[in-house]
């Protein structure tokens, strides 16, 4: 993600900030211009942006401290682009749910930022049949609720926002990595398969050449995956074992990893991160000199990103914490990611 900046004092801001740590001005995210707007609330009860002379108000979910996105003052909407996609939010009468919801919103807002960077149009399911919406649901006795996607509805189990339960699930599933942003990226991949692949016969043909034929029965493929523990030879052709279960899951996994790589590379670009190991380690140099969202050549993106991830993993190991990116991108996965890049950029 980009680095944002206070419009008053120039101090760097995180995407989630609601005020500048340095000058205390109110800040909010403007998703039309992809910038943070800065406001002097001691001067003005309304939010009057110092950069573009427009009046704004915060998304209604700012009342719950789960959103810092702005809406133009004259807009008829109460909720921002990201929050207007919520169909079901957690029951806030349960005190622990607010904390979980905040974690879900943080990941979801980052997802929407990224989809907007690709210029993807994200209509709300509540307004259009081919739109997208989110249900954040708690497990209920006797009801089979699962994290997943179905026809534009992304369900995320509230328990995934509990770090202890998530770690437990990660170990049970023998996964190297399990995060909320990972769930969002994976599930929205299914949504965009319906929108970008299924609707275009030529793209669908290219998809089948890379991922396999998705017309194989999904339910029996998943049953086979859970019965047999998946294809043990996955690491030469897939990004994860779960990706072997069905071409749709391979797509969603590859898509999620593609989004991981693009976000990491964008962050590295904005921070000017550079890896230049001492003599004798040739081929491990990485320096992202361009914004990956403006770069057609995905080879160039990956070549600069891999040494940075290797260095980041090494730093984490210095601190005794898990690798940032505990995966190896093989040639088959690279071809799948290039296909996605070609569609999106």
- The residues binding Zn ion (CB under 5 A) are 6, 8-9, 11, 20, 22-23, 59, 61, 67, 69, 80, 83, 249, 252
The Cβ of residue 89 has, within 10 Å, a number of other Cβ atoms equal to: 19
Task: Copy the structure tokens of residue 113.
Answer: 């930022």
Instruction: Kindly state the smallest distance separating residue 283's Cβ from Zn ion, in Å.
Output: 35
Q: Minimum distance between the CB of residue 295 and Zn ion, rounded to whole angstroms?
A: 28
Closest CB to Zn ion among 249 and 266? Answer: 249
**Distance in Å, CB of 22 to Zn ion, minimum:** 5
Given a contact cutoff of 8 angstroms between Cβ atoms, the answer to whether 178 and 166 are in contact is: yes
Per the CB < 8 A criterion, the answer to whether 57 and 76 are in contact is no
Report in angstroms how near the CB of residue 24 gets to Zn ion at its nearest. Answer: 7
Q: How far apart are CA 306 and CA 311, in angstroms?
A: 9
Pairing, β 153-157 against β 274-275: unpaired
Q: Which of 16, 31, 116 is nearest to 67 (CA)?
A: 16
d(CA 100, CA 18): 19
Closest CB to Zn ion among 189 and 286?
189
Report the residue number, 216 or 314, with the smaller CB distance to Zn ion.
216
Q: Within 13 Å and on the Cβ side, how many CA atoms surround 271?
A: 13
Nearer to Zn ion, 156 or 311 (CB): 156
Q: Whose Cβ is closer to Zn ion: residue 20's or residue 261's?
A: 20
CB of 77 or CB of 94, closer to Zn ion: 77
CB within 8 A of 112, min separation 6: which ones?
31, 81, 82, 85, 122
Q: How far is the CB of 83 from Zn ion (least distance, A)?
A: 3
Q: Closer to Zn ion at the Cβ: 67 or 340?
A: 67
State the CB neighbour count (10 A cutoff) for residue 242: 19
- DSSP annotation of 287 reads E
Shortest separation between residue 172's beta carbon and Zn ion, angstroms? 17
Shortest distance in whole angstroms from residue 275 CB to Zn ion: 31
- Cα separation, 161 vs 179, in Å, equals 9
């Amino acid at each position: 993600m980009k680095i944002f900046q206070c419009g008053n004092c120039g101090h760097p801001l995180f995407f989630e900030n609601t005020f500048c740590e340095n000058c205390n001005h109110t800040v909010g995210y403007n998703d039309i211009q992809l910038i943070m707007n800065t406001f002097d609330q001691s001067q003005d009860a309304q939010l009057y942006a110092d950069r573009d002379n427009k009046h704004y108000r915060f998304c209604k979910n700012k009342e719950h401290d789960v959103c810092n996105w702005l809406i133009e003052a004259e807009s008829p909407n109460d909720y921002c682009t990201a929050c207007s996609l919520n169909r079901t939010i957690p029951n806030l009468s349960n005190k622990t749910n607010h904390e979980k919801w905040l974690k879900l919103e943080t990941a979801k807002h980052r997802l929407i930022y990224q989809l907007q960077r690709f210029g993807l149009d994200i209509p709300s399911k509540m307004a259009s049949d081919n739109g997208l919406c989110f249900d954040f649901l708690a497990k209920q006795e006797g009801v089979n609720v699962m994290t997943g996607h179905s026809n534009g509805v992304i369900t995320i189990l509230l328990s995934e926002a509990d770090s202890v339960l998530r770690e437990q699930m990660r170990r049970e599933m023998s996964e190297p990595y399990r995060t909320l942003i990972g769930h969002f990226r994976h599930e929205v991949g299914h949504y965009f398969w319906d929108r970008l692949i299924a609707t275009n016969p030529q793209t669908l043909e290219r998809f089948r050449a890379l991922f396999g034929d998705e017309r194989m029965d999904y339910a029996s493929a998943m049953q086979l995956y859970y019965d047999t523990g998946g294809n043990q030879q996955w690491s030469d052709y897939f990004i994860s074992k779960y990706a072997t279960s069905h071409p749709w899951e391979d797509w969603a996994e590859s898509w999620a990893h593609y989004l991981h790589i693009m976000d990491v590379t964008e962050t590295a670009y904005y921070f000017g991160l550079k890896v230049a190991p001492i003599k004798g380690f040739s081929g491990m140099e990485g320096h992202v000199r361009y914004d990956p969202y403006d770069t057609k050549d995905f080879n160039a993106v990956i070549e600069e990103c891999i040494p940075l991830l290797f260095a980041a993993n090494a730093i984490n190991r210095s601190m005794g914490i898990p690798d940032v990116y505990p995966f190896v991108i093989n040639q088959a996965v690279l071809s799948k990611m290039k296909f996605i890049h070609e569609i999106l950029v």
